[in-house]
Amino acid sequence: MNERQALVSFGALSQQTRLQIVRMLVIAGPTGMPAGVIAESLEVSPSNVSFHLKELERAGLITQQRESRSIIYSADYEALGSLVRFLMEDCCGGHPEICAPAAAVAACCAPLAEGKCQ
Amino acid sequence: MNERQALVSFGALSQQTRLQIVRMLVIAGPTGMPAGVIAESLEVSPSNVSFHLKELERAGLITQQRESRSIIYSADYEALGSLVRFLMEDCCGGHPEICAPAAAVAACCAPLAEGKCQ
DNA sequence: TCAATAATTCAAGGATTGTTGAAATATGAA
DNA sequence: TTCATATTTCAACAATCCTTGAATTATTGA
């Protein structure tokens, strides 16, 4: 993740509908969600959701794949991970006090994989 | 950190000059930097840097304090930490694979305090 | 007080972004 | 083929954001 990509990613996440889409897709997991279902869930018009999906794809935060008549969108976990990392390294650099709360989440996050947390 | 604050913060970081300002201020540490020095370092006009500083302050990512004729700006470590945390919790929720790279940074970050890393 | 320094505010203009509804494209079923 | 479904694309307009330079405010020193 370079500065250019980070700027586009931050821009993509700075809009309510788009942030909500990312949230939904992360929760939805690898299965993803069709554009229409996303639009319905968020009560946004199809053309509007399409606009925002394109923006998120441009930022590389989500991917698409056609499945019959539907187009399924999924969160790109790797890209999201890279963004978190960029923010931590860039803003943390030499300043662990910024990282501290993140470290707490991370500490909880790893054990999650084995069902040890929450 | 709620959604509203996160949106504003992401918006603040989605502009090159502002991202560079935050970087500089994080590196500068608690001492901070006067507006004029920031403007000179980034080769941006005083009025333009002032515009971006105001934007970053509105997002709560930096703070200001007057020191004689200068106005000193500093990074708000707590706010930055909260933002990282928001991104991790919001985007990580149930998906440790996103957190993994962040956890690696965090693991390196904590020991930094005791000079054990890098 | 007057001048110099440091920074902000303001207005104007251009650039980018977001919203809307209508038209177009792609797919699958009758 | 024809129709219905799922989605995107497009054009137009509104809203927001960014940049610029001139004017303004605040502080200090002569």
* HEC string for chain A: CCHHHHHHHHHHHCCHHHHHHHHHHHHHHHHCEEHHHHHHHHCCCHHHHHHHHHHHHHCCCEEEEEECCEEEEEECHHHHHHHHHHHHHHHHCCCHHHHHHHHHHHHHHHHHCCCCCC
* Confidence (pLDDT) at A115: 45
Q: Report CA A85 to chain centroid distance, whole Å.
A: 13
Tokens of A39: 């639009």
The whole-model pTM stands at: 0.91
> What are A9-62's pLDDT values in tens digits?
999 999 999 999 999 999 999 999 999 999 999 999 999 999 999 999 999 999
Length A35 CA → D12 C1' (Å):
25
CA distance A109 to chain B (A): 5
In this predicted structure, the answer to whether residue A91 has a pLDDT above a threshold of 80 is no
* Confidence (pLDDT) at A104: 72
CA distance A106 to chain B (A): 5
In this predicted structure, the answer to whether residue B66 has a pLDDT above a threshold of 90 is yes
Length B101 CA → C25 C1' (Å):
40
A117/B contact by beta carbon, under 8 A: no
Length A47 CA → C22 C1' (Å):
11
**C-beta of residue B91 within 8 angstroms of C-beta of residue A79:** no
Q: How many CB atoms are located within 10 Å of the residue A15 CB?
A: 17
Work out the average pLDDT over B33-46: 98
Nucleotide closest in space to A54 (CA vs C1'): D8
Q: Is B75 helix (H, G, I), strand (E, B) or coil?
A: strand
* Confidence (pLDDT) at A89: 82
> What are A92-113's pLDDT values in tens digits?
665 777 777 777 776 666 554 4
Average pLDDT taken over every residue of chain B:
87
Chain D nucleotides covered by protein, CB below 7 Å: 5-10, 17-23, 26-28
> Could you give the maximum distance between any two Cα atoms of chain B, in Å?
50
- Protein residue closest via CA to C1' of D22: B47
Work out the average pLDDT over B21-47: 96
Nucleotide closest in space to B11 (CA vs C1'): D17
**How does DSSP classify residue B32?**
-
Answer yes or no: is B37 CB < 7 A from strand C: yes
Nearest to A17, CA basis, from A41, A52, A46: A52
* Confidence (pLDDT) at B115: 45
Q: Which residues of A35-44 are buried (b: 16+ CB within 10 A; e: fewer)?
A: bebbbeebeb
B81/A contact by beta carbon, under 8 A: yes
Residue A22, C-beta contacts closer than 8 angstroms, at least 6 positions apart: A13, A56, A61, A62, A75, A80, B91
